Structure 1
Amino acid sequence: MEYLLFGARCALALTLLASVTGKLRAPGGITGTVADLGIVPGRLAGPVGAAVIAAETSAIALVWLPGPAGVAAFLGAAALIAAFTAVLVVLIRRDDDVSCACFGASRTPVG
């Protein structure tokens, strides 16, 4: 069971690391995506984008905590990824022509 947990932590941390790295290499990409989504008011796009990056960065470190704190962090990171997935599903169902900055700047619409 320890190996499975270690593998899951590695997979989650590496996925989030790739995501954060892509977002930091394309400043403004996440803000533009959040604004294009129309889920929050335009004035909040910057703070929400920054919060996404902060949450992903925190999750990378926190999933390695031992005991209940690590389990809680792991569940929080999983919830974060579930929220991202839900947003993508909504975009696909609405057939919106919005590109995703999930792993950095992209001009390819979600689909």
Structure 2
Amino acid sequence: MSYLLVFCRCLLALVFLASAASKLRGPTAFRAFADSLRMMRLLPERVVVPVAAAVAVTEAVVPVLLVPLPIAAVTTAAFTVAAALLATFTVAVAAVLDRGTPASCRCFGGTAASFGRHHLARNVVLSVFAGIGAYASLGDPAVTTRTVVLAAPLGAVATLIVIRLDDLAALFAPLTPPRGFG
């Protein structure tokens, strides 16, 4: 269980850290995130900016709570907050896809890729890892140096895959010929 705990802790801490940093790195980045929420057409206009701020701050708090502390309840709470946030994201993405709303994902800042099923799948998978992490944090983790050396790099690699998912999806997407070709 300790390998799973370290992997999940590393994965989710780095994913939420990257996500929060992309939104909080400056006013332009935050405004782009708030605009992406606005484009989703799921929230009344008056709450878009406060919800954007709450999301960014919550994303910033999760990695802090996932720092290895001797208090298992804090770690379990961090995984629970992460799972709740990811479940909310999953429902929002599903609603956007169901409505066919042309909204973009500003999950990690730079990309303005439209929401797709891969975003939904990503959030579901991350939610599962948050649940696994919460469950693993309930027992005596007995984390050793060996555990960290083996599991943390895997969590870091998984984080890179999550963060660069839009690029990977575009890389493997079927090619469409330009208009007027053939």
TM-score (norm 2): 0.57
Q: Does residue 1:104 correspond to 2:125, yes or no?
A: no
Runs of 4+ in 1 over 4 A off after TM superposition: none
State the Cα distance separating 1:33 from its structure 2 match.
Answer: 1.4
Instruction: Check conservation: 2:16, 2:60, Cα contact below 8 A.
Output: yes
Among 46, 49, 53, the alignment partner of 2:49 is 46
Between the aligned partners of 2:30 and 2:98, the Cα distance in structure 1 is 28
- Alignment-derived partner of residue 150 in structure 2: none
Deviations 1:58-92 (CA, angstroms, capped at 9, x unpaired): 11111234311210221111111121122111111
Between the aligned partners of 1:15 and 1:104, the Cα distance in structure 2 is 12
Q: Which has the higher Rg, Structure 1 or Structure 2? A: 2
Between the aligned partners of 1:40 and 1:90, the Cα distance in structure 2 is 12
SS of 2:104's equivalent in the other structure is coil
TM-score (norm 1): 0.89
Unaligned runs of 5+ in 2: 117-182
- What is the number of residues matched between the two proteins? 111
Unaligned runs of 5+ in 1: none
Among 61, 64, 88, the alignment partner of 1:61 is 64
SS of 1:28's equivalent in the other structure is helix
